[in-house]
Amino acid sequence: MDDACFLRFCRLLAGRFTNQDQAVADPVHFAHIHVAFHPLEGGSFGPLWYYSEQAYDHDLWSPYRQGVHCLVRQEGLVRVENYSLEDPVAAAGATRNATIRATIKPEQLKPRPGCAMEFRGAATGGFTGCVEPGCRCLIPRDGQLTYLVSEVEMDEERWISRDRGFDPQTHEQLWGSEHGALRFRRTERYDQGVGPHWLRTTT
């Protein structure tokens, strides 16, 4: 992936998205959700690191999903390595509050093996991504271990995602939306600090 494409991905990832339009149009099947990715550069982290959270609109300070991510540029794609936090409650709200972001430290992170996302450029100018091959991103759900299949489309205006869980033995789908993907629109950009210096740290 060339420099311009990689830097475009870094900038597009840095933002906040909401599926408010989808939730209003079909409130029975879709809750109102916010997704946000904020760069962590500064303090204990350099370029290419992000903190993310997903939260329901009625409880923004109690996200139901949180993570830390590191971008790795590879031939033809961007690999987004995923980490969990030892104390996610302490980091809640960090996409909105710089003081909370500053409390996140590398030693608090736990790798999530098999759960990296791999993104490639799309003809539309955006990017499409999915979980790395191998069915190794294991997630317990309702007392049963499942593997995650996650698909994402991202561009200047949209974030479209679909997560599903499958039985590792039978490959039967056990959880995930039965009504299609979640469709978000961008409401904020957090890319002000993302610049050419990020390219000097890529591999």
Q: What is the pTM of this model?
A: 0.94
Residue 195 lies in a domain: no
Instruction: Name the residue range of residue 134's domain.
Output: 3-188
Average pLDDT rounded to a whole number, residues 50-59: 97
Q: Nearest CA to 121 among 186, 77, 156, 70?
A: 77
pLDDT score of 202? 58
Residue 193 lies in a domain: no
33-66 burial by CB neighbour count: b if 16+ within 10 A, else e?
A: bbbbbbbbbeeebebbbbbbbbbeeeeeeebeeb
How many angstroms separate the CA atoms of 83 and 68, rounded? 5
Residue 136 lies in a domain: yes
Q: Tell whether the model's pLDDT for residue 138 goes beyond 60.
A: yes
Q: Tell whether the model's pLDDT for residue 201 goes beyond 90.
A: no
Residue 198 lies in a domain: no
Average pLDDT rounded to a whole number, residues 125-145: 94
pLDDT score of 52? 98
Residue 53 lies in a domain: yes
Q: Tell whether the model's pLDDT for residue 15 goes beyond 80.
A: yes
Residue 170 lies in a domain: yes
Across all residues in the chain, what is the average pLDDT? 95
Q: How confident is the model at residue 124 (pLDDT cuts 50, 70, 90)?
A: confident
Average pLDDT rounded to a whole number, residues 25-50: 95
pLDDT score of 160? 98
Average pLDDT rounded to a whole number, residues 53-82: 96
pLDDT score of 177? 79
Number of domains in the chain: 1
Q: Are strands 158-166 and 182-189 parallel, antiparallel or unpaired?
A: antiparallel
pLDDT score of 59? 94
Average pLDDT rounded to a whole number, residues 117-129: 95
Q: What is the CATH number of the domain that holds 29?
A: 2.40.128.590
Residue 8 lies in a domain: yes
User: Which pLDDT tens digit goes with each residue over 140-191?
Assistant: 998 999 999 999 999 999 999 999 999 999 999 999 978 899 999 999 999 9
Q: How many CB atoms sit inside 10 A of residue 200's CB?
A: 7
Residue 96 lies in a domain: yes
